[in-house]
Amino acid sequence: MKEPPITDAERLVMEAVWTEAPLSSAAIIKRVSPAADWSPKTVQTLIGRLVGKKMLERERSGRGYVYRPAIQREAFVASKSQSLVQRLFSGRITPLVAAFADSDKLDKEDLRQLKALVDELERKQGLEQDHEHDD
């Protein structure tokens, strides 16, 4: 599923809703406005745009509405990550990691986690390959 592009400002609203939902517009404003120094009207506009883009769902609650994400954060991040890798690196992950490594952006913890991820992927692929030979 391809999600519509959202702005950085809209993403801040989504982060608030992903953290805790459902939320009223007043609760979203309370979480987002101080950090971004936005007026309540600005946050209301962003909420409206996200509903229009089908990123937020709204349902009636008393005299107002509550909002919840139409897509989970993990699915959104996965989609955007795949899009970035496809667009900038022709779908290849290795050049992306190499770009970070070349710019000294990877610390020891990043390297440890990458090694663990590679080990896990190799284990899974080894299991899948073993199952392919069972047929």
Q: What are the sequence ranges of the domains in the chain?
A: 8-69, 105-135
Predicted confidence pLDDT, tens digits, the chain (135 residues): 566 789 999 999 999 999 999 999 999 999 998 888 899 999 999 999 999 999 999 999 999 999 999 999 999 998 888 888 888 888 888 888 888 788 777 888 988 998 898 899 888 888 666 555 555
8-69 has which CATH code? 1.10.10.10
Pairwise CA distance, residues 115 & 127, whole Å: 18
Q: What backbone phi and psi angles, to 5 degrees, belong to 68?
A: -140, 155
The pTM score is: 0.72
8 A C-beta contact, residue 89 and residue 96: yes
What is the DSSP secondary structure assignment for residue 71, as one 8-state letter? S
Pairwise CA distance, residues 64 & 52, whole Å: 17
